[in-house]
Amino acid sequence: MNYGRFPLSTIRLSSRKRKQLLNTGQDVGGKPESLYKYDRIGNRLRKRTLSKEGIKMNETTASQNIVIRTGRGLTIAGTRITLYSIMDYVKQEWPPKLIKDLFDLTDQQISGVLAYIEANRDQVESEYQIVLQKAEKNRRYWTEYNREHLEKVAAMPHKPEHEEIWKKLRARQAKLETT
């Protein structure tokens, strides 16, 4: 029985097959060339990719499996992280290790994402610019929408118990303006 490339959450296993997988961690199909193996972690199954007869995928194939297109745009498979979020940090020339740690990605995911970005630089860059334009348009809309409310809040008198804090704040602002 071969389940192909479907995530474990979409696979319906018979109770007998589930027990077999939980107890033994066998290959799903019982075939040595199966691409997936399930390991037992507590009561849960974890899907692990195996290399097929020692043949490794090239970097482009691996990155295509890591980067998928969803309704949100180009996304890292198994996460809700878009490539556009990663691009913000790539543009600022952050090291891959820091990006990986920031987004809690695996080494395979970050290398696949960076390989995909390099292989499809023009496409990713053009989509990234569109995303930035939409974000700026959205920011301007909400700034204008909230402008009146923010002006009302700024015009409100300060509470008497906060007056000392406001004096310190004004003194700090004056000091910063003179420097």
> What are the C-alpha distances in Å from 17 to residues 23, 41, 82, 119?
10, 16, 35, 41
Report the C-alpha gap between 163 and 157 in whole angstroms: 10
Q: Is 57-154 a CATH 3.40.50.620 domain?
A: no
SS3 label, residue 78? coil
For the chain, which residues make up each domain, given as ranges?
A: 8-49, 57-154
Residue 100's closest CA among 118, 91, 112, 117?
A: 112
pTM passes above 0.75 = no
pLDDT for position 48: 53
Q: What angle do CA 21, 26, 30 make, to 5 degrees?
A: 115
Residue range 43-78, pLDDT digits in tens: 555 555 544 433 334 444 445 588 999 888 999 998
| Average pLDDT along the chain, 179 residues, taken 10 residues at a time | 46 56 50 45 51 40 73 90 93 93 93 93 93 94 93 88 92 90
Kindly state the helix (H) or strand (E) to which residue 155 belongs, with its residue range.
Answer: helix 121-155
pLDDT for position 52: 40
pLDDT for position 178: 87
